[in-house]
């Protein structure tokens, strides 16, 4: 029989209505770093960067950080967040991580003192586990927790991760458009992994007096978004990618149910669901993430952001400077516009324009619109368990897509969502029984999948 488990808490109602869900404001604002306030009436740029691989990583991070802080002073940026995403290579040597985190934090504190900057510093730890090893690679898990401890003690203000529990089954299923496999991955396997992972991360964060920022379903929903491609070259239906995005919100919510407080991780496009439910601030990325990948949701994702981010940009020389500082300037002007709209009390108008520019062009944008988000989130918080809410939220998303005449859906997309609705309703009738039987079969088909290792940790 499938194992049951209880979470630390469950959200039973929404924090927001669609009318109130807007950029720059959160019901639970945060203050951290060198006095940075997030979700308290100002949108803050969060810049994410990547060192050149052929260079010394410590010198690269030192150079990038100083470039960014100098650029902030030059542009008059008072509020800023920096994000370091650790790589597999860096995770092999925790001492190296300590050095580079300390280097960056020393620079942040010096510039904050000299120029009055309010800076937050997020560190995202890489998920280095090999899920093919027994107990899902305890050595890798322990090293991840060690790195969370170390960065918390040496300058990080916010802890995040892009965790991958359930990814082995998801990869098999998404290519085959196998909805039962996707449900089993996101609605069951990933939930066990998220609970274990975030129970530990939240404990570390509380002990070190830093923030447990949140997870990202990048390995799932962003993978589906990438495979779906553009309007003409898609490998899977865009409506499938949108369904995966909604399901991923149920998975990422577990971090907050375990005690995370945000600000949510930028590449988690599902964050708007988490903000609607929890009221905690979120980081989002859209048009500025084109440096790393293309999408059809470049404007709408800014509708409710509290931090506005790019995707990773390498520290390469461009005409306007090095990559990270160039993208900081782009983020600055985006956030400057949003903040002026807040000052002039026209922010809801700007939000609605952002939404309108993307919402009906593609189902992936449609499911990120605040009104749709709140309708689906009502279903999420109303369900009794993780598996049920994963399936029910996807069914609700399909119903809303089918009911919206303005939404551009090809004949193929319409056929797919009709099929998907029937299939998901069938799964929803007895989700535990169907997932239990399916997992027994998937273990014989999916390399590295060991269901018992999810249940026994």
Secondary structure E strands in 233-390: 283-285, 307-309, 313-314, 317-318, 321-322
14 phi and psi angles, rounded to 5 deg: -80, 150
* Amino acid 240: pLDDT: 98
Cβ 421 vs Cβ 385: under 8 Å: no
Residues of the chain with pLDDT below 70 are: 1-8, 457
Domain boundaries, the chain: 25-447
Token reading at 322: 């090095």
With vertex at residue 271, the alpha carbon angle to CA 124 and CA 305, rounded to the nearest 5 degrees, is: 95
> At a CB cut-off of 8 Å and minimum separation 6, what does 56 contact?
none
440 phi and psi angles, rounded to 5 deg: -60, -40
Residue with tokens 């093919």: 132
Prior bond to 244 cis, omega within 30? no
* DSSP designation for 456: -
* Amino acid 6: pLDDT: 46
* Amino acid 3: pLDDT: 39
* Amino acid 53: pLDDT: 84
Residue with tokens 């949510």: 264
Which residue in 28, 31, 33 sits closest to 15, CA to CA? 28
Cβ 357 vs Cβ 365: under 8 Å: no
What secondary structure does DSSP assign to 177-241, as a single string? T-HHHHHHIIIIIHHHHHHHHHHHHHHHHHHHT-EEEEE--IIIIIHHHHHH-SSS--SS-HHHH
* Amino acid 457: pLDDT: 63
Residues of the chain above pLDDT 90, percent: 93
Cβ 347 vs Cβ 22: under 8 Å: yes
* Amino acid 8: pLDDT: 65
| Assigned CATH for 25-447 | 3.20.20.70
Cβ 10 vs Cβ 254: under 8 Å: no
Question: CA-to-CA distance for 20 and 390, rounded, in angstroms?
Answer: 25
Other C-beta atoms within 10 Å of 134: how many? 10
* Amino acid 287: pLDDT: 95
* Amino acid 163: pLDDT: 98
24: phi > 0 → left, psi -120 to 50 → alpha, else beta; which?
A: left
Please write the tens of the pLDDT for every residue from 265-289: 999 999 999 999 999 999 999 999 9
Cβ 174 vs Cβ 224: under 8 Å: yes
Question: CA-to-CA distance for 264 and 284, rounded, in angstroms?
Answer: 8
Cβ 246 vs Cβ 239: under 8 Å: no
* Amino acid 192: pLDDT: 96
Which residue in 136, 166, 161 sits closest to 216, CA to CA? 161
The most distant pair of C-alpha atoms in the chain lies apart, rounded to whole Å, by 62
Rg value, the chain, Cα: 21
- Burial zone of 253 (CB within 10 Å; 0-12 exposed, 13-18 middle, 19+ buried): buried
Token reading at 92: 């092999």
Pairing of strands 25-32, 211-215: unpaired
* Amino acid 125: pLDDT: 98
pTM: 0.96
Collapsed DSSP state (helix, strand, coil) of residue 16:
coil
Helix, strand counts (H, E) of the chain? 18, 12
Token reading at 230: 């553009």
* Amino acid 134: pLDDT: 83
448: phi > 0 → left, psi -120 to 50 → alpha, else beta; which?
A: left
* Amino acid 221: pLDDT: 98
């Amino acid at each position: 029989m499938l194992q049951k488990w209880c979470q630390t808490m469950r959200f039973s109602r929404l924090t927001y209505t669609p009318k109130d869900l807007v950029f720059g404001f959160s019901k639970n604002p945060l203050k951290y770093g060198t006095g940075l306030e997030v979700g308290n009436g100002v949108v803050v740029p969060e810049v994410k960067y990547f060192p050149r691989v052929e260079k010394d990583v410590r010198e690269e991070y030192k150079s990038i950080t100083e470039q960014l802080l100098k650029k902030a002073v030059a542009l008059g940026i008072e509020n800023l967040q920096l994000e370091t995403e650790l790589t597999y290579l860096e995770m092999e040597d925790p001492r190296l991580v300590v050095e580079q985190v300390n280097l960056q934090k020393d620079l942040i504190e010096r510039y904050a003192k000299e120029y009055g900057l309010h800076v937050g510093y997020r560190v995202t730890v890489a998920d280095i586990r090999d899920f093919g090893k027994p107990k899902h690679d305890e050595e890798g898990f322990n090293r991840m927790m060690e790195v969370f401890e170390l960065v918390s003690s040496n300058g990080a203000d916010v802890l995040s991760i892009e965790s991958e529990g359930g990814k082995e089954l998801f990869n098999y299923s998404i290519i085959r458009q196998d909805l039962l496999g996707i449900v089993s991955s996101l609605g069951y396997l990933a939930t066990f992994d998220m609970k274990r992972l975030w129970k530990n991360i939240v404990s570390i964060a509380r002990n070190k007096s830093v923030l447990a920022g949140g997870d990202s379903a990048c390995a799932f929903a962003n993978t589906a978004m990438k495979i779906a491609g553009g309007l003409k070259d898609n490998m899977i239906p865009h409506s499938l990618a949108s369904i995966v995005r909604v399901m991923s919100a149920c998975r990422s919510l577990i971090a907050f149910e375990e005690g995370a407080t945000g600000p949510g991780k930028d590449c988690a496009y599902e964050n708007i669901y988490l903000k609607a439910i929890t009221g905690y601030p979120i980081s989002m990325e859209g048009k500025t993430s084109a440096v790393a990948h293309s999408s059809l949701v470049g404007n709408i994702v800014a509708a409710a952001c509290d931090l506005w981010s790019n995707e990773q940009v390498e520290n390469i020389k461009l005409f306007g400077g090095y990559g990270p500082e160039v993208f900081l300037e782009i983020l600055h002007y985006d956030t400057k516009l949003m903040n002026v709209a807040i000052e002039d009390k026209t922010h809801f108008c700007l939000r609605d324009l952002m939404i309108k520019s993307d919402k009906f062009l593609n189902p992936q944008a449609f499911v990120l619109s605040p009104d749709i988000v709140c309708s689906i989130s009502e279903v999420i918080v109303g369900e009794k368990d993780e598996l049920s809410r994963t399936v029910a939220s996807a069914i609700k998303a399909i119903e809303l897509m089918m009911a919206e005449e303005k939404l551009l859906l090809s004949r193929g997309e319409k056929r797919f969502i009709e099929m998907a609705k029937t299939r998901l309703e069938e799964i929803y009738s007895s989700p535990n029984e169907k997932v239990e039987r399916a997992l027994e079969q998937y273990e014989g088909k999916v390399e590295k999948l060991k269901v018992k290792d999810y249940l026994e940790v």
